[in-house]
Chain A
Amino acid sequence: MSLFNKISLLLLLIPFAGLSQNNCNISLHGQALDEVTGKPLPFASIYLEDIQKGTSADADGYFAFDGLCPDTTHIRISHVSCEPLRQYLIIQKDTILNLYLHHHEELMDEVLVHGRHSDQTIENSGTIDKDLISQRSNQDLSKVIEEITGVSTLNTGSGISKPIIHGLYGNRIALLNNGVAQAGQQWGNDHAPEIDVFSADHISVVKGVGALALPGSSLGGVVLIEPGATSEDPHLHGSTNHVYQTNGRGFTVNLELEQGGLEKAIRFNGTLKKGGDLHTPDYFLNNTGKEESNASLFYEFGKSKAWQKKLYASTFNSTIGILRGAHIGNLTDLLLSFERETPFFTEEVFSYEIEAPRQRVHHHLAKLEAENAWAGNQKVSLTYAAQLNQREEFDVRRSGRSDTPALSLIQFNQQASALYERNFSKGLLLRTGLNGAYTDNTNQPETGILPLIPDFNRFDEEAFLIIQNEKAKLLTEIGGRLSLNQLHVVTISRDLPRRIERFNHQFSNVNLAGGLAYSPSRVLKLSVNGGYVERAPAVNELYSFGLHQGVSSLEVGNQNLEKEKSLKTTTSLDINWNDKLFLQLLGYAQSIRNYIYLKPAPEPELTIRGAFPLFNYDQADAFFRGFDALLSLEPVESVRLVSKLSLLKGTDQSNGIPLVFMAPNNLSNEISLSLPDGQRLKNSRISGRLKSVFEQKNYIEGLDFVNPPPTYHLFEMEFHTALSTEKNAFHFSIRGENLLDVSYRDYLNRQRYFADELGRNLTFRVQWEF
């Protein structure tokens, strides 16, 4: 898979004697292995592109080239039902090379993706690799990581989605883009993360609570969006990806270019997206177009020096149309919408036009990181990052004001961190560090509307310490983090005369986590992880006041909220039976005291626009328990069966009622068949998947405006093939979603009050790697 998979390839170069040999008798021996299981991949084919020599591995994955001259070459390795791998190689002396392929990409996690010998951790995680990211580059980040069990999305229509991990989302989830905690308006249920999925090499979701070293809240899991390491390859390589989807007639174009080297490396990454009105099986969803233009630049220098420096800059710009029929006035309108078959304003006309209501978002990030490793066991890294986020939301307004935003916020965020890591002998590892962040959030007065959330400054300071011990088959970890949050808020009074008022809040939070992982044999791995996490209330929970677009309800903050206190444990069991059957089971329980939620008020709020349901931020004790399971079975080499199951139950213990917006239980079953390689077409496979999302039964009447929608089943198919020439590779794929054109609504979509989900969608993709 050319330069993309460099990170996943664990290169083991063992020089023999170190004598330089200028004659043509160098040998290159190695073994092709499965990244996940470490199991040999028999009969893999290996090709040295620039030397034009090829061979096949034997039944144990071993291969050998002899009589090579000193040279540089690209080595390409492919195996049935794995994405091929391409790597730059300097042939200088006799070398043993172990090549790891993603034969089981559904089983990848954060530890594996970084290599077995670094970043060991007891946290439970799931990872999406670059192959899947490239295949889904027309989708949102959240939709892509939904592939990981236990992860679901909170949606506003089909254009806006936010990740939910084990039932928690928004302020309780941290998104780390390139190690930097994503700033921006993450509190909003209709505010999607401002990150281009294609800019990532891999994305991991940490489900447990052990993520203390990472900045930001980790009460509900962490999403890591990582760019991957650069290569040593001095040639310019890259790939372009063209995607067309029939539903919404959407185009996506991606470009990635990379020039590596021993001293410095540079990588550019860009995405353009444009889509028009989407449609359900029965009608168009008017004004649901989307435009996106994103770019990032990664520059690594001083690679061979003591201080290795990395500079990263990215820009994300999107305009998202919101279903016109979901933009309504008061409670009466809302009740009327519920009764309609098709939303108001539905027209049988396709358009790329994006009108109000719409969102326009810009997010820019710059980051500088310097790392120094010495004595083979110590490492220090320093990071500084700045982010600028601008969000404008446009409503349908009178007198040409639809072009004036109804919400306009600019947020500036700076972060700095210092980390130190030391490996002691006898498997003891110590990690410690400091993180600091400063956020400045300002409303732009152009709106002509009192702001939904006030202007504020926030300081966050954190210090953490983690100790890890690896003894034979047992890995234990214990850690703690102290954090201090200071919030200075400036509000405008709701009564007359309008006054400016200032409030200060200070919270100190203690986080503790510990766990152990025990693997008595290759067959079994057991891990238990537990932690106590505190989270200070966010500014919207304390101060928001106003109408939330699309849901027609007034949300009112509560200045007296206390911090949330969470206790979570996860227990996981991984079974590998004969390298044919893999089973990953994860059970979790989380208790949150002072869980902050929106409590419906008994009486609606009366305004000149009529009555609105009123919701006040309140606190209760909540309890979550759930179970994730993943089964991967390979009865014969070319057939694979993957099943994923997620169960969750959330309860408001104080009031003895279920929690709203909990992910319904869901099951996905996929079968894929690898086809034999043809003369030119290789790596062909066909797969079919049945996704079932069950009705949310943990619900009582009156908890939401409308009862949860019934169970639905969706059928998907995908065909992929690849064509490799001397220096190029072409990938072709066709993917069909909701092939049976089922009309359904999803419980976690806030627009389910108004409209159905998308009908059949075919996605065509061509990727060219060079």
Chain B
Amino acid sequence: MKKLFFITLAAFAFTACEKDDPIIPNEEELITTLIYTLTPDGGGNPVELKFQDLDGDGGNVPVISGGTLTSNTTYSGSLKLLNEIESEDITLEVEEEGDEHQFFFSVSGLNANVDYADTDANGKPVGINTTLTTGATSNGQLTITLRHEPAKDASGVANGDITNAGGETDIEVTFDVAIQ
């Protein structure tokens, strides 16, 4: 009995080998990059606002590039979400689940206004396509928020007011923007 016991003890002490290399997970859900492209309605060069965190949480810090807009101009805005690790376009996922997602745009210090230019299956806005209208010259920030499972019927939400939206934040990025 005793012998058997020590054999067992020894067996598990020595058979335990080095751990195998872990399989690096396929981070298909990760969003590394958000690009908000603003194209002036009357023609001209598009402006690109970009947030890029290529390695996800931790590691290197994200790179954020803001932009300069022209005053009293209407822009067509379009959002693109990318997973650059897996080379995937996440915009499509959000579009497909449009009824479970909504982007919100808020400005501080900027004379600008963002309106929705798209709808989900239920006729509620999603915010992948927008119209941005600038006013007088100003400097400030534009914050873009993506909520997953927001209360799309709640008061003000369809007009872009985030207050009653709830849900959880999948994206929240802030850009420095100047209107000249």
Chain A residues contacting B48 (CB-CB under 8 Å) are none
Q: Does B152 contact A (CB under 8 A)?
A: no
Q: Are A445 and B170 interface neighbours, CB within 8 A?
A: no
Q: Are A488 and B55 interface neighbours, CB within 8 A?
A: no
Q: Are A500 and B21 interface neighbours, CB within 8 A?
A: yes
Q: Are B172 and A330 interface neighbours, CB within 8 A?
A: yes
Q: What distance in Å separates the Cβ of A404 from its nearest Cβ neighbour in chain B? A: 9
Chain A residues contacting B27 (CB-CB under 8 Å) are 448-450
Q: Are A608 and B32 interface neighbours, CB within 8 A?
A: yes
| CB under 8 Å from chain B, chain A span 531-582 | 545-547, 554, 556
Q: Are A459 and B16 interface neighbours, CB within 8 A?
A: yes
Q: Does B118 contact A (CB under 8 A)?
A: no
Q: Does A712 contact B (CB under 8 A)?
A: no
Binds A, one of B38-46, B69-77, B89-97, B125-133: B89-97
Chain B residues contacting A490 (CB-CB under 8 Å) are 19, 21-22
Q: Mark B123-158, 1 if CB is under 8 A from A, else 0.
A: 000000000000000000000010111010000000
Q: Does A315 contact B (CB under 8 A)?
A: no
Q: Does A436 contact B (CB under 8 A)?
A: yes
CA distance A495 to B53 in the complex (A): 10
Chain A residues contacting B171 (CB-CB under 8 Å) are 608-610
Q: Select which of B1, B24, B94 is within 8 A of A445 by beta carbon.
A: B24
The 10 closest A-B CB pairs, nearest first, are A329-B169, A610-B172, A495-B59, A344-B166, A494-B58, A494-B59, A445-B23, A329-B168, A496-B55, A382-B5
Q: Which residue of A lies closest to B169 (CB)?
A: A329
14 contacts between A and B (CB under 8 A): A344-B167, A398-B148, A399-B97, A438-B12, A446-B25, A450-B56, A496-B59, A498-B24, A547-B57, A554-B57, A606-B62, A608-B34, A608-B62, A610-B171
CA distance A493 to B97 in the complex (A): 32
Q: Does A443 contact B (CB under 8 A)?
A: yes
Q: Are A307 and B1 interface neighbours, CB within 8 A?
A: yes
Chain B residues contacting A610 (CB-CB under 8 Å) are 145, 169, 171-173
Q: Mark A581-623, 1 if CB is under 8 A from B, else 0.
A: 0000000000000000000000001111111000000000000
Q: Are B170 and A333 interface neighbours, CB within 8 A?
A: no
Given contacts A398-B97, A416-B8, A607-B62, contact A329 B170 (CB under 8 A): yes
CA distance A608 to B5 in the complex (A): 55
CA distance A329 to B62 in the complex (A): 18
Q: What distance in Å separates the Cβ of B131 from its nearest Cβ neighbour in chain A? A: 24
CA distance A436 to B149 in the complex (A): 49
Q: Mark B59-70, 1 if CB is under 8 A from A, else 0.
A: 111100000000
Q: Select which of B5, B18, B57, B148 is within 8 A of A605 by beta carbon.
A: B57
CA distance A370 to B62 in the complex (A): 59
| CB under 8 Å from chain A, chain B span 1-53 | 1-2, 5, 8-9, 12-13, 16, 18-19, 21-34, 51, 53
List the count of A-B residue pairs having beta carbons below 8 Å apart: 153
Given contacts A490-B22, A496-B54, contact A414 B97 (CB under 8 A): no
Q: Are B172 and A329 interface neighbours, CB within 8 A?
A: yes
Chain A residues contacting B1 (CB-CB under 8 Å) are 307, 370, 382
Q: What distance in Å separates the Cβ of A647 from its nearest Cβ neighbour in chain B? A: 39
Chain A residues at the B interface, C-beta cutoff of 8 Å: 307, 327-330, 332-333, 344-345, 370, 382, 384, 396-399, 401, 414, 416, 418, 436, 438, 440, 442-443, 445-451, 454-457, 459, 488, 490, 492-496, 498, 500, 545-547, 554, 556, 605-611
CA distance A232 to B172 in the complex (A): 67
CA distance A328 to B56 in the complex (A): 19
Chain B residues contacting A606 (CB-CB under 8 Å) are 61-62
Q: Select which of A333, A418, A440, A494 is within 8 A of B19 by beta carbon.
A: A440
Chain B residues contacting A495 (CB-CB under 8 Å) are 55, 58-60
Q: What distance in Å separates the Cβ of A463 from its nearest Cβ neighbour in chain B? A: 13
Other than the given A398-B100, A609-B170, 19 more pairs (CB < 8 A) read A329-B169, A332-B145, A332-B169, A344-B166, A384-B8, A396-B148, A399-B96, A416-B5, A416-B12, A456-B19, A459-B13, A490-B21, A492-B24, A494-B58, A495-B60, A554-B58, A608-B31, A608-B51, A608-B172
Chain A residues contacting B149 (CB-CB under 8 Å) are 345, 396
Q: What distance in Å separates the Cβ of B147 from its nearest Cβ neighbour in chain A? A: 8
Q: What distance in Å separates the Cβ of B28 from its nearest Cβ neighbour in chain A? A: 5
Given contacts A488-B18, A500-B21, contact A396 B168 (CB under 8 A): yes
Chain A residues contacting B8 (CB-CB under 8 Å) are 384, 416
Q: Select which of B2, B51, B58, B96 is within 8 A of A382 by beta carbon.
A: B2
Chain A residues contacting B21 (CB-CB under 8 Å) are 490, 500
Given contacts A414-B12, A445-B22, A608-B62, contact A399 B57 (CB under 8 A): no
CA distance A440 to B147 in the complex (A): 38
Q: Are A436 and B55 interface neighbours, CB within 8 A?
A: no
CA distance A401 to B148 in the complex (A): 13
Q: What distance in Å separates the Cβ of B170 from its nearest Cβ neighbour in chain A? A: 6
CA distance A551 to B54 in the complex (A): 25
Q: Are B58 and A545 interface neighbours, CB within 8 A?
A: yes
Which label, helix, strand, loop or mixed, suits the secondary structure of the B interface?
Answer: loop
Chain B residues contacting A396 (CB-CB under 8 Å) are 148-149, 168
Q: Does B85 contact A (CB under 8 A)?
A: yes
Chain B residues contacting A605 (CB-CB under 8 Å) are 57-58
Chain B residues contacting A446 (CB-CB under 8 Å) are 25
Q: Select which of A418, A448, A494, A496 is within 8 A of B5 by beta carbon.
A: A418
Chain B residues contacting A454 (CB-CB under 8 Å) are 22
Tally B residues with Cβ within 8 Å of A: 54
CA distance A329 to B167 in the complex (A): 8
Q: Are B24 and A333 interface neighbours, CB within 8 A?
A: no
Q: Are B57 and A333 interface neighbours, CB within 8 A?
A: no
Q: Which residue of A lies closest to B52 (CB)?
A: A608
Chain A residues contacting B57 (CB-CB under 8 Å) are 450, 494, 545-547, 554, 605, 607
Q: Which residue of B lies closest to A437 (CB)?
A: B12
Chain B residues contacting A329 (CB-CB under 8 Å) are 147-148, 168-170, 172
Q: Are A438 and B5 interface neighbours, CB within 8 A?
A: no
Given contacts A399-B96, A496-B54, contact A455 B168 (CB under 8 A): no
Greatest chain A CB density within 10 A among B16, B18, B31 is at B16
Chain A residues contacting B30 (CB-CB under 8 Å) are 449
Q: What distance in Å separates the Cβ of B18 from its nearest Cβ neighbour in chain A? A: 7
Chain B residues contacting A447 (CB-CB under 8 Å) are 25
Q: What distance in Å separates the Cβ of B142 from its nearest Cβ neighbour in chain A? A: 14
Q: Which residue of A lies closest to B64 (CB)?
A: A606
Q: What distance in Å separates the Cβ of B66 from its nearest Cβ neighbour in chain A? A: 15
Q: Are B29 and A455 interface neighbours, CB within 8 A?
A: no
CA distance A448 to B51 in the complex (A): 22
CA distance A345 to B167 in the complex (A): 8
Chain B residues contacting A370 (CB-CB under 8 Å) are 1, 5
Chain B residues contacting A382 (CB-CB under 8 Å) are 1-2, 5
CA distance A496 to B52 in the complex (A): 13
CA distance A344 to B61 in the complex (A): 31
Chain B residues contacting A442 (CB-CB under 8 Å) are 19, 22
Chain A residues contacting B58 (CB-CB under 8 Å) are 494-495, 545, 554, 556, 605
Q: Are A399 and B19 interface neighbours, CB within 8 A?
A: no
Chain A residues contacting B32 (CB-CB under 8 Å) are 608
Q: What distance in Å separates the Cβ of A678 from its nearest Cβ neighbour in chain B? A: 54
Chain B residues contacting A554 (CB-CB under 8 Å) are 57-58
Q: Which residue of B lies closest to A457 (CB)?
A: B19
Greatest chain B CB density within 10 A among A327, A330, A398, A490 is at A398
CA distance A608 to B143 in the complex (A): 12
Greatest chain B CB density within 10 A among A327, A450, A488 is at A450
Q: Select which of A416, A492, A556 is within 8 A of B22 by beta carbon.
A: A492
Q: Are A500 and B28 interface neighbours, CB within 8 A?
A: no
Q: What distance in Å separates the Cβ of B86 from its nearest Cβ neighbour in chain A? A: 9
Q: What distance in Å separates the Cβ of A488 from its nearest Cβ neighbour in chain B? A: 6
Q: What distance in Å separates the Cβ of B52 from its nearest Cβ neighbour in chain A? A: 9
CA distance A306 to B32 in the complex (A): 67
Q: Which residue of B lies closest to A395 (CB)?
A: B168
Chain A residues contacting B60 (CB-CB under 8 Å) are 495
CA distance A609 to B143 in the complex (A): 12
Chain A residues contacting B23 (CB-CB under 8 Å) are 445
